[in-house]
Structure 1
Amino acid sequence: MTDALEITTFSLSSGIGEATAPHHHRSAGHPVSAVARAIGFAIARPPEVDVSEIIVRPTAQR
């Protein structure tokens, strides 16, 4: 018996329009390293752990 093919999907969604994106990311964006650490956390989980969703937002967001 062969192993099943594992399919991974990835999506980024900011929830803002293109016109406001440059200003929004300058004023409330995350350091790239913070997002990278969140993704690293998810992929470093053991095989028996399923991380279904990660939401990364600034701590100042209300």
Structure 2
Amino acid sequence: MMFTDALTRSGEDDSTAERILKGLTNSCGTSDVVNGLRDLVTTKVNLSRVLRRRGREADAKTLS
């Protein structure tokens, strides 16, 4: 999660950030429901930021 946060905030490699975040969005969830939910929300927010930066507003809105 720290890596994806840093990647999202830096804006240096949005292609990689998008790929990783999409994968995490589909696989988030652990036996620890609270942490799993927090990670899922964080992942979707970061993916939304990356998609908006890449000009994909409609895709970003589906994550809200």
Fold in common (TM above 0.5): no
Considering only CA atoms, is the larger Rg found in Structure 1 or Structure 2? 1
TM-score normalized with structure 1 length: 0.29
TM-score normalized with structure 2 length: 0.28
Which protein has the bigger helix share?
2
